[in-house]
Structure 1
């Protein structure tokens, strides 16, 4: 069963110790992206690594932690204006609705956007159905699960 996801959701990124980051659900975008102000490729011996940070420095959950990975690619992505850009693409674990799964993100400048994370179709496919009238369903479902343990009920949809 697919879960109902809203147009905006709180996303956890446990590999990076980031919790409750607001992300925009965008069925028009194929690839997910996350804001990064710093990304550079470095060499260690004959191996290439990518060093980067995520989130805007002004974001309340910005840590400034530099993340390093050798699991990255460079991908050509069309931006919202239809222009092709080369971006680094990385993989990490995300958590939504209490479930963890792997997702790929391109690193991009989202400083002018309201949300630091954009969830595209590739991440959503096979897992979620989007209801644009809703927001923060993952957070609400977590509260619901706690309420059910204490005998309280609610009429929130969780799957279709």
Structure 2
């Protein structure tokens, strides 16, 4: 049967660069405070001359965006580890199978909002919200601020994060079935 196939591929190549996404999200999280300070400085100094900085500042102040970024980090980390292993030249099928099942288990675990990682994420988001409300100019209420009040973080988790994880799990299973 194998002789009939001209080329045997472990998986189909994908366009997604999980490690790049992980590093990008991780960089925003690590540099969040200096990034916010810089954007606030640009907006305060230049005002209407810097709509990009103002827009990015508004987006990053949104509690739901902060929550999504922090929630994506462990997901992207698990996927980047699997992706890096798939790209190695010296990996074997047994190790790949174990890592794939481990990744699937980790993704299933990340669908549970009660795990400690999400408790920490909720605490981080609450701290950021408290800090931003202290610094918030009371005369300016953004659409992002009012929108966050209408949507709970658990709703965002169930509507966005769990659906994203389910899609990834389906994709991994589909790639490794054939």
Relative to the length of structure 1, the TM-score reads 0.28
Larger radius of gyration: 2
Q: Choose between structure 1 and 2 for higher RCO, CA contacts under 8 A separated by at least 6 residues.
A: 1
Relative to the length of structure 2, the TM-score reads 0.26
Higher helix share: 2
Higher strand share: 1
